[in-house]
Amino acid sequence: MTAIGVFVATRWELDAVRRAFGTTEARVVDGIRCLVARQAQAEWWIIPMGVGPERAAATARRMLAAQPFTAVWSTGFACALGSARIGDVLIGTQVTMEDGQSTGRPVSCAQTLVDWMRQAVEAQGLSMQAGGFVTVPRVLCRAEEKREMAAQAGGIGLDMESAALGLVASEHRIPFAIVRTVSDLVDESLPLDFNLFLRPSGWAKGVVACLTHPTSLIGLNRLRVQSRIAGAQLTALYRACADRALREGFA
């Protein structure tokens, strides 16, 4: 049985992946509630890891210690670091951690998985790019920050989990892949400092910011629309991967 660990940060991303499959069943592994879709000789494990590198690494270590996987995929939404459209599919070839002080060693994605994903996506006619990813420990909210990161690190996509997840996968010698869809662009600022919402004590400040800056509501609505597009494309992406796996098996 092929078991693919599909790690997502948020429930919105989890729901988008889940919609690609007919039915799923809930399973609990070391206190982590996962959804599992069965497909012929394959199981797709959809695993909520939380936002940020620390949560991603902690969840991955618990899961990989308790459940064997054939491959580990980092999935969900990403910021495009280059020219792209909302909803475009970004396939990682490697990922580095950038914490503002140092650059971590690159974590490579399994070339066989990269090629397999590209073929599955191309067969469905989805707009796609492949290249390097960058993982950061905090949300880059201003366009200036994003452009600076793009110039400094290069790559096609920005997220907060892939490098940490990839390092844990490499420790367990499990093939690793990144496949995400674009939810925001390098030249647009986010409407709020979303780092506030990553801390329990910051939620009140985040709510106050929404209420005291009415223009942020316009930006939040724009981001909601973009996230819906990214979510629909994520569902289409996983339908493409599931269809190919059913026809031809995995790489």
156-199: per-residue pLDDT in tens?
A: 999 999 999 999 999 999 999 999 999 999 999 877 776 666 65
The pLDDT of residue 199: 58
The pLDDT of residue 200: 54
What string of DSSP letters covers 106-174?
PEEPPHHHHHHHHHHHHHTT--EEEEEEEE-SS---SHHHHHHHHHHH--SEEESSHHHHHHHHHHTT-
Q: Kindly state the tokens that stand for 55.
A: 């949560």
Residue 211: which residues within 8 A CB-CB, separation 6 or more?
Answer: none
CA-nearest of 136, 160, 157, 195 to 50 is: 160
The pLDDT of residue 207: 47
Q: Distances in Å between the alpha carbon of 240 and those of 61, 99, 116, 231? A: 29, 34, 11, 14
Note whether 52 and 64 are within 8 A (CB): no
Name the H helices within the chain. 11-18, 53-66, 111-123, 143-153, 162-171, 203-212, 214-248
Note whether 76 and 177 are within 8 A (CB): no
In a 10 Å sphere around its CB, with 0-12 CB exposed, 13-18 middle and 19+ buried, how is residue 55 labelled? middle
Q: Which residues of the chain have pLDDT under 50?
A: 201-207, 211
Q: Kindly state the tokens that stand for 114.
A: 């990269």
d(CA 192, CA 220): 8
Instruction: Please say whether the dihedral angle defined by the alpha carbons of residues 135, 138, 142 and 148, taken in this order, is positive or negative.
Output: negative
Domain 2-248, CATH class in plain words: alpha beta
Dihedral through CA 198, CA 200, CA 201, CA 206, nearest 10? 50
CA-nearest of 96, 105, 46 to 73 is: 46
The pLDDT of residue 213: 56
d(CA 123, CA 244): 9
